[in-house]
A and B are shown apart, each in its own frame.
Chain A
């Protein structure tokens, strides 16, 4: 379902050499130092596409390899940057705004954009999240493309009303006269090693409860670029959650041309027959490692790993197809367990595949506590916990 879009701008416009990126020193930032310790596995994950061939072997990118197979090494934030420059180059009505974005933002995801596209299209806002989103809604209601950044997902809550009551319901309220399809809210989320209460949360479940918005969380640079372009161009407001620990940790060969990856479509990352393992964002790497461990320790076990990518709309078909085969399901996410999105998946699977289930569905999530600073490593649904859950469903 890949769409390849012709860019109006010269190609060079969004070809950022990685050298140029690397030369950009980390400027000021409300940013913790690079995370360490809590994310084993990203550096040698088999899921990251480290060569152009691997990158283009993805069937979703097949059409692309014929048209323009050029790739470039990018980390997650560079891929976001690349997608934003593609969006700015291909859509004259698109603007990028948020706190300090014209300087590159806390995580450098918007660096260089103001210089290339002008300060009237890439601009800083005051610290006013409710205002930022409300302003974006107004712009999108006119039909423009508003790409807002909320500096950390923890700061999206001042804008909660605007998202839930205004953005999500504009189309419905106006009987379709208006909509805010052009609105995309990007925001860095999830644990980073030592972010504490207000720099670590993953708020997808709050918004999943709200019909009218889509929610996306990519796991890697290739995914981030394709999903972000799709989110920006999707005709619904989209909350695009970027796991901040991956900004630097995840590196891939990313196609340089304009491509989209489908929203509402989960991806089966690894085939298997006995246990279905579902996650999104950073959690994918923990699940990958847990599966490796489980398959090593449990003879004959094979697990199927699914990345949801889009949380809403939920691709329940892909999950149930897998569960109908395996009979077992383990779901992992960082947000607390109670009312977490795993609960929704669990119920949806029960409704459709109840008689196929061989074991109770397992949820491996954060604790029902505020996100702790001192206890982060105890809070995280880490590899061992995921492994235990896989083991438990196989032994049930």
Chain B
């Protein structure tokens, strides 16, 4: 019924983009750790702690899950590479090569990696400005991410946007206006339902953003039309300098849609994130409508590079999170305990990640600044623009 009423309006909906070629770091390291293909595909059983989930109006997902060894090593590789990449961005910013805004996801790696491991390229993701990690797992190369940060031609948005403005075919960005991306997620999910694609859209926002009115507008539309949309509150405890409790009347973000069931997840555990996202995909694509998912996580650094991140929280708090809940350390322990990889092999992955990132940084640095002709591209569809764009002074106009 939804389809018939909307079909006239949506005649031009495009089919979901095709799978994106994976970036180099995804696969090169993993296979070398296994003696054979059978070894690589050997399954490892994982049991999640009872505390992994809290639920609201639904049944907890199973705590039992299974991964191939290869998949585990792949997750580990992505997480350490991502962290390396953010460390490189941090250094480039401090060296004044990256200017303006730069929001790192260090500490939050399990969110993007866990989510990506549970979905495929017909599923969609849209998030806010803390987007480097998602860009990477959704196929953006490290060079194109660092290049964007540096404002270079090789940047994923041609160097025209910078830190907050990154996109890839199955990733709708990179959105700088707090909360604005959330209703977009509902719209993307609508097209999936409309086209009968068994896929889900994850529409992410922060604990701070959760108070924007549009979030609630999007909840309502999504439930009204039972869209395959998962509203994911990435709760890293702070929105800039304001702690969740000081911005939100209820910090039980997973219950805040009332009429939409919710799940709270340990977002520092990549397995819990994986399981929750898999569950959410099954739920939403089986016609049960939207879900709200709260991922409890933590950002180690400041809100952005100009924030030391220590004036509104204690150094002890950060240290405590790092030493007890680090998502990479947690995964590493699993790999060792299950004899998936040895300490030395994991070290080799770390080393390789560093190498890949260092190379990508060098390549990005070698890329030129975008050509001035890009100044007036991407404003209108080519061929449909106004005849000219006015310049800064009379006579200075760009004629298309």
Q: Report the separation of the CA atoms of residues A158 and B211 in the bound assembly, to the nearest whole angstrom.
A: 13
For the complex formed, measure the closest distance between the CB of B10 and the CB atoms of chain A, giving whole angstroms: 26
- Chain A 83-125 near chain B by CB (<8 Å), digits 1 or 0: 0000000000000000110010000000000000000000010
Question: Using Cβ atoms and an 8 Å threshold, which residues of chain A touch B214?
Answer: 158
Of B240, B391, B392, most buried by chain A (CB within 10 Å of CB) is B392
| Contact assessment for A158 and B101 in the assembled complex, using a CB-CB cutoff below 8 Å | no
Question: Using Cβ atoms and an 8 Å threshold, which residues of chain A touch B389?
Answer: 367-369
- Interface residue? B161 (CB, 8 A): yes
Question: Using Cβ atoms and an 8 Å threshold, which residues of chain A touch B180?
Answer: 158
| Contact assessment for A362 and B307 in the assembled complex, using a CB-CB cutoff below 8 Å | no
| Contact assessment for A30 and B370 in the assembled complex, using a CB-CB cutoff below 8 Å | no
- Interface residue? A380 (CB, 8 A): yes
- Interface residue? B308 (CB, 8 A): yes
| Contact assessment for B247 and A127 in the assembled complex, using a CB-CB cutoff below 8 Å | yes
Q: Report the separation of the CA atoms of residues A158 and B309 in the bound assembly, to the nearest whole angstrom.
A: 27
A122-159 residues with Cβ-Cβ distance < 8 A to B are 124, 126-131, 154-155, 157-158
- Chain A 343-369 near chain B by CB (<8 Å), digits 1 or 0: 000000000000000001011111111
- Chain B 173-212 near chain A by CB (<8 Å), digits 1 or 0: 0001111100000000000000000000000000011011
Of B208, B248, B303, B306, most buried by chain A (CB within 10 Å of CB) is B306
Q: Report the separation of the CA atoms of residues A336 and B386 in the bound assembly, to the nearest whole angstrom.
A: 15
- Interface residue? B242 (CB, 8 A): yes
- Interface residue? B107 (CB, 8 A): no
Q: Which of B23-31, B314-322, B371-379 faces chain A?
A: B371-379
Q: Report the separation of the CA atoms of residues A103 and B394 in the bound assembly, to the nearest whole angstrom.
A: 45
A28-B309, A196-B101, A198-B177 in contact; A373/B241 too (CB < 8 A)?
Answer: no
A126-B211, A127-B211, A388-B393 in contact; A198/B239 too (CB < 8 A)?
Answer: no
- Interface residue? A297 (CB, 8 A): no
A372-B160, A385-B392 in contact; A127/B209 too (CB < 8 A)?
Answer: yes
Q: Report the separation of the CA atoms of residues A29 and B179 in the bound assembly, to the nearest whole angstrom.
A: 19
Question: Using Cβ atoms and an 8 Å threshold, which residues of chain A touch B309?
Answer: 28
Q: Report the separation of the CA atoms of residues A27 and B389 in the bound assembly, to the nearest whole angstrom.
A: 40
- Interface residue? B99 (CB, 8 A): yes
Question: Using Cβ atoms and an 8 Å threshold, which residues of chain B touch A33?
Answer: 99, 306
Question: Using Cβ atoms and an 8 Å threshold, which residues of chain A touch B303?
Answer: 28, 30
Of A157, A336, A367, A378, most buried by chain B (CB within 10 Å of CB) is A367
- Chain A 145-175 near chain B by CB (<8 Å), digits 1 or 0: 0000000001101100000000000000000
A306-365 residues with Cβ-Cβ distance < 8 A to B are 336-338, 360, 362-365
- Interface residue? B17 (CB, 8 A): no
Q: Report the separation of the CA atoms of residues A33 and B239 in the bound assembly, to the nearest whole angstrom.
A: 20
Q: Report the separation of the CA atoms of residues A31 and B100 in the bound assembly, to the nearest whole angstrom.
A: 8
Q: Report the separation of the CA atoms of residues A213 and B216 in the bound assembly, to the nearest whole angstrom.
A: 29
| Contact assessment for A378 and B100 in the assembled complex, using a CB-CB cutoff below 8 Å | no
| Contact assessment for A389 and B394 in the assembled complex, using a CB-CB cutoff below 8 Å | yes
| Contact assessment for B372 and A32 in the assembled complex, using a CB-CB cutoff below 8 Å | no
| Contact assessment for B101 and A30 in the assembled complex, using a CB-CB cutoff below 8 Å | yes
| Contact assessment for B306 and A374 in the assembled complex, using a CB-CB cutoff below 8 Å | no
Chain A, Cβ-Cβ closest to B206: A127
For the complex formed, measure the closest distance between the CB of A386 and the CB atoms of chain B, giving whole angstroms: 8
Determine the interface band of chain B, counting residues with CB < 8 A from chain A.
35 or more
For the complex formed, measure the closest distance between the CB of B253 and the CB atoms of chain A, giving whole angstroms: 13
| Contact assessment for B240 and A27 in the assembled complex, using a CB-CB cutoff below 8 Å | no
| Contact assessment for A381 and B392 in the assembled complex, using a CB-CB cutoff below 8 Å | yes
Choice from A100, A155, A368 contacting B178 with Cβ under 8 Å: A155
| Contact assessment for B164 and A130 in the assembled complex, using a CB-CB cutoff below 8 Å | no
| Contact assessment for A337 and B161 in the assembled complex, using a CB-CB cutoff below 8 Å | no
Choice from A26, A196, A379 contacting B162 with Cβ under 8 Å: A196
Q: Report the separation of the CA atoms of residues A365 and B390 in the bound assembly, to the nearest whole angstrom.
A: 9
Question: Using Cβ atoms and an 8 Å threshold, which residues of chain B touch A126?
Answer: 208, 211, 242, 247-248
| Contact assessment for B370 and A374 in the assembled complex, using a CB-CB cutoff below 8 Å | yes
Of B304, B308, B312, B393, most buried by chain A (CB within 10 Å of CB) is B393
Q: Report the separation of the CA atoms of residues A211 and B60 in the bound assembly, to the nearest whole angstrom.
A: 55
- Interface residue? B282 (CB, 8 A): no
Choice from A131, A198, A392 contacting B213 with Cβ under 8 Å: A131
A9-39 residues with Cβ-Cβ distance < 8 A to B are 26-33
Question: Using Cβ atoms and an 8 Å threshold, which residues of chain B touch A365?
Answer: 390, 392
For the complex formed, measure the closest distance between the CB of B182 and the CB atoms of chain A, giving whole angstroms: 12
- Interface residue? B69 (CB, 8 A): no
Choice from B159, B212, B242, B379 contacting A369 with Cβ under 8 Å: B379
Choice from B178, B370, B398 contacting A127 with Cβ under 8 Å: B178
For the complex formed, measure the closest distance between the CB of A392 and the CB atoms of chain B, giving whole angstroms: 7
For the complex formed, measure the closest distance between the CB of A149 and the CB atoms of chain B, giving whole angstroms: 13
Q: Report the separation of the CA atoms of residues A92 and B260 in the bound assembly, to the nearest whole angstrom.
A: 43
Q: Report the separation of the CA atoms of residues A195 and B391 in the bound assembly, to the nearest whole angstrom.
A: 20
Question: Using Cβ atoms and an 8 Å threshold, which residues of chain B touch A26?
Answer: 306
Question: Using Cβ atoms and an 8 Å threshold, which residues of chain B touch A158?
Answer: 177, 179-180, 212-214
Question: Using Cβ atoms and an 8 Å threshold, which residues of chain A touch B160?
Answer: 372-375
Question: Using Cβ atoms and an 8 Å threshold, which residues of chain B touch A196?
Answer: 100-101, 161-162, 164-165
- Interface residue? B151 (CB, 8 A): yes
- Interface residue? A59 (CB, 8 A): no
For the complex formed, measure the closest distance between the CB of A202 and the CB atoms of chain B, giving whole angstroms: 14
B32-81 residues with Cβ-Cβ distance < 8 A to A are none
Q: Report the separation of the CA atoms of residues A373 and B176 in the bound assembly, to the nearest whole angstrom.
A: 13
For the complex formed, measure the closest distance between the CB of B13 and the CB atoms of chain A, giving whole angstroms: 26
| Contact assessment for B390 and A337 in the assembled complex, using a CB-CB cutoff below 8 Å | yes
Question: Using Cβ atoms and an 8 Å threshold, which residues of chain B touch A27?
Answer: 241, 307-308, 311-312
Chain A, Cβ-Cβ closest to B310: A28
Chain A, Cβ-Cβ closest to B215: A128
Residues of A within 8 A of B (CB): 26-33, 99-100, 103, 124, 126-131, 154-155, 157-158, 193-199, 336-338, 360, 362-370, 372-375, 378-382, 385, 388-389, 392
A-B CB contact pairs (8 Å), 20 listed: A28-B241, A30-B306, A99-B240, A100-B241, A127-B211, A127-B239, A130-B213, A131-B213, A154-B177, A155-B177, A158-B177, A193-B99, A195-B101, A338-B390, A363-B393, A364-B392, A367-B398, A374-B159, A375-B160, A375-B374
> What 9 additional pairs, Cβ within 8 angstroms, besides A28-B240, A367-B375?
A27-B308, A31-B306, A130-B213, A158-B213, A367-B392, A373-B151, A373-B161, A374-B370, A382-B392
| CB-based closest 4 A-B pairs | A28-B307, A126-B211, A194-B99, A194-B100
